[in-house]
Amino acid sequence: MKKRTFIKLCTAAAAMPLELPSFAAPEKLSNWAGNIEYSTENVATANSVASVQDFVRKHASFKTLGTRHCFNRIADSTQQLLTTDFAAQTPAIDSAARTISVGPGIRYGTIAPMLEKGGFALHNLASLPHISVAGAITTGTHGSGVKNGNLSTVVTALEIVNAAGVVVKLSRKNNPDIFPGAVVGLGALGVITKVTLNIQPTYQIAQTVYENLSFSSLKEHFDEVLSAAYSVSLFTDWQNQRINEIWLKHRIDPAKPPVKQPRDFFGATRATKNLHPIAALSAENCTEQMGIPGPWYDRLPHFKMGFTPSAGKELQSEYFVPHKNALDAILAVEKLHEQIGPHLMITEIRTIAADDLWMSPAYKQDSVAIHFTWKPEWPAVQKVLPMIEEQLKPFHAKPHWAKLFTMQPARLQSLYAKLPDYKALLKQYDPNGKFRNAFLDTNIYSS
């Protein structure tokens, strides 16, 4: 039986946490997918920088939660969880500097319409707008586009409360030596209390979906396919040597009339109605397609705010390989189609431009990400992942920090050239391991 959640409230005014009456033993929180139950029922909420500082000083070990969309235990704690609710802090748009500054916990789906109203946009979004900015940038969350870096690449400044409870302000301009190590920080440097993002003038996107691209055509036109639009996603179930759907998100040039995309795309056929990436599901929760132009934030994600993104009950894994090896990597995974097929909902293939962020999987490497949306069958998926990781080993594949993987920590660590510098940074911000948990102990600190 489910029991009441026990919540401690921290406020700036009342440094003493307010404890709600507990009628029964507390209930544990779960992540969005429901595959992870966090290991403690102690959950507190901070609503200001001062209350975060107070909380940090009083606790020896805790993890901060964003919107709980990670699929693994990166956000877990056995001691204490902190959520943030900075509702009183309105995102601040600086039109002259072309930036937006947001507090922790705020979602892309909340700031996007504000930006649009001010005539601004972000360079890209993930497949869903439901995730928090702080949670997304700290795990290297990405969308697609050969020229688009991940969402962390437009971070220009960060405010972090470190393990001593001190507010540290870092910016790309003032701290060029360590800033690239702090942005994809894996939630390990402290509590992010403010993120500043580069913005640009608003733009429109028209989304056109094609069906059935043969692998032979993909092999022949690989780079043309992946760079055919501002953002391109390929969806495959790995069956019958084909890409089931291709989603082309064309950025509209305001100086030119919108172009209707041709019926044929390297042998694939333009869809005649909106589609879900999993063709059997209703497209009701998907952003508008059929080449109908719309604001960037209503086309770059695949899923609409206010609706369940993706399939709902699912698991996710994703591996980044160098763009130059991506076709070979895809063909290597295809060899596992019989093992993958029974447990897969859909695979998505996207591109991410190289960046300079130490713990980003696209560090100094134009990348292609091969993603798997799995049925919620962890015992089976757990057996398939090592096979995929083995197939992708020659391409030095790196797993997504927020998704499920089985790669050995030593192997994972060997893939990050800047890991020693990142660990040195962690030592500075968190000398006694206040922000560590089992995930970080295993995957980062174990060498």
Task: Return residues touching ligand FAD (CB under 6 A).
Answer: 32-33, 63-70, 74-75, 84, 104, 126-128, 131-132, 134-136, 138-139, 141-142, 186-187, 191-192, 309-310, 400, 402
If the CB atoms of residues 128 and 243 are measured against ligand FAD, the closer one turns out to be 128
Encoded tokens for 155: 């971070």
Residues 10-49: b if buried by 16+ CB within 10 A, e if exposed: bbeeeeebeeeeeeeebebbebbbebbebbbbbbbbbbbb
Which residues are registered as beta bridge partners of 191? 161
> Residues near 141 by Cβ (< 8 Å), separated by ≥ 6?
126, 131, 135, 150, 151, 152, 402
Report, in Å, the least distance between residue 46 CB and ligand FAD.
10
SS (H, E, C) the chain: CCCCCCEEEECCCCCCCEECCCCCCCCCCECCCCCCECCCCCEEEECCHHHHHHHHHHCCCCEECCCCCCCCHHHCCCCCEEEECCCCCCCEEECCCCEEEECCCCEHHHHHHHHHHCCEECCCCCCCCCCEHHHHHHCCCCCCCCCCCCHHHHEEEEEEECCCCCEEEEECCCCCCCHHHHCCCCCCCCEEEEEEEECEECCEEEEEEEEEEEHHHHHHCHHHHHCCCCEEEEEECCCCCEEEEEEEEEECCCCCCCCCCCCEECCEEECCCCCCCCCCCCHHHECCCCCCEEEHHHCCCCECCCCCCCCCCCEEEEEEEEHHHHHHHHHHHHCCHHHHHHHEEEEEEEEECCECCCCCCCECCCEEEEEEEECCCHHHHHHHHHHHHHHHHHHCCEECCCCCCCCCHHHHHHCCCCHHHHHHHHHHHCCCCCCCCHHHHHHCCCC
Report, in Å, the least distance between residue 414 CB and ligand FAD.
22
Cα gap 318→347, rounded to integer Å: 9
If the CB atoms of residues 270 and 368 are measured against ligand FAD, the closer one turns out to be 368
If the CB atoms of residues 270 and 302 are measured against ligand FAD, the closer one turns out to be 302
If the CB atoms of residues 270 and 416 are measured against ligand FAD, the closer one turns out to be 416
If the CB atoms of residues 162 and 208 are measured against ligand FAD, the closer one turns out to be 162
Report, in Å, the least distance between residue 338 CB and ligand FAD.
26
If the CB atoms of residues 270 and 349 are measured against ligand FAD, the closer one turns out to be 349
Report, in Å, the least distance between residue 195 CB and ligand FAD.
8
Report, in Å, the least distance between residue 59 CB and ligand FAD.
14
Report, in Å, the least distance between residue 217 CB and ligand FAD.
25
If the CB atoms of residues 144 and 391 are measured against ligand FAD, the closer one turns out to be 144
Report, in Å, the least distance between residue 435 CB and ligand FAD.
8
Report, in Å, the least distance between residue 241 CB and ligand FAD.
25
CB atoms within 10 A of CB 408: 14
State the helix-helix crossing angle for 326-334 and 378-392, rounded to 10 degrees: 140
Report, in Å, the least distance between residue 127 CB and ligand FAD.
3
If the CB atoms of residues 309 and 399 are measured against ligand FAD, the closer one turns out to be 309
Cα gap 12→201, rounded to integer Å: 36
Report, in Å, the least distance between residue 104 CB and ligand FAD.
3
Report, in Å, the least distance between residue 175 CB and ligand FAD.
18
If the CB atoms of residues 80 and 270 are measured against ligand FAD, the closer one turns out to be 80
If the CB atoms of residues 109 and 180 are measured against ligand FAD, the closer one turns out to be 109
Report, in Å, the least distance between residue 165 CB and ligand FAD.
14
If the CB atoms of residues 270 and 403 are measured against ligand FAD, the closer one turns out to be 403
If the CB atoms of residues 65 and 209 are measured against ligand FAD, the closer one turns out to be 65
